[in-house]
A = this chain, B = another copy of it.
């Protein structure tokens, strides 16, 4: 270790001392300008000076003060979040909380976060909103890429304007995605299956129900279905059937579907719309069917608590946006790298541990 002392520095933690560029300059016997040039490899440094500075840098553990760095290059950063309108689909409602928290928290650092909502049932609305955002020329966009083809196009346009794009919730291509925050949907399906297996008896029939899933975001639901089926394929002796339906058809057709499959003892709903099935089951007083679905919507939580839904899988949309925004902010302010792929844990929610996820 170096044994030098600085006039202006009070050694509190001997070896763990925080060095500044000025300190390094003094130790190396050069000016802070030279140290700066060495640190940033800006050239214009003589071999002798380079050596002196590097000698010091090798001895100490210099970490630039990120507060000072970020303050110096103070800029106002603008991040837009593009996501479905939660009035059209309550699944997205928690995202809003996450965004509001991020707005509040990061405003003090000069980061301005702005949400933009589109209609998840209307591709045109998705395109329109993105066009509007593009015109604002923000520094970055955090996007829920619901529509495959249109997202590819808009991402290219953003790229032309040097706007960073991160995605959340839906993986655009299932592999090789960049800047993505979300969950592994295939695994999520497998987990649902493993839970189902624990709570129903052998040789039973299990239904996978996809509600209101048109071809657009069907790929995401299909991943879950694949995962679910893969689990049972490995153990056999279960009969898995898939039913695609519209929400308004449930009342008219679900009873027929149940009667057609007499051994039916488990239903896996691939989205947050599981409450519609639960409602039906409750009204018809069907007691032998176990239900697993997605997400902590108010209605879902109600049916979970009174035992009609047995398990919910938590996709944690709030954490997804918040984390996505955190990555972008850390990138702008502190030069942190944005993780190419951030897969959140897949939480299993029961009536008992539910409140530990909703508190605070």
Contacts and interface: CB of A to CB of B under 8 A. Distances in A.
Contacts of A355: 187
Given A64-B108, A70-B67, A109-B67, A345 B356 contact: yes
Interface stretch (A11-19, A203-211, A237-245): A11-19
Contacts of A71: 65, 67-68, 71
A347 interface: yes
Contacts of A70: 67
A7 interface: no
A223 interface: no
A339 to B, nearest CB: 8
A127 interface: no
Interface in A61-78: 61, 63-68, 70-71, 74, 76, 78
A141 B235 CA distance: 51
Given A12-B76, A359-B343, A350 B191 contact: yes
Interface stretch (A168-176, A192-200, A214-222, A281-289): A192-200
Interface in A109-148: 109-110, 112, 114
A360 B347 contact: no
14 contacts: A16-B112, A18-B76, A65-B108, A66-B109, A67-B71, A67-B109, A184-B356, A191-B353, A194-B352, A199-B199, A345-B347, A345-B353, A347-B353, A348-B348
Interface of A: 12-13, 16, 18, 61, 63-68, 70-71, 74, 76, 78, 107-110, 112, 114, 183-184, 187, 190-191, 193-195, 198-199, 231, 310, 333-334, 339, 342-348, 350-353, 355-357, 359-360
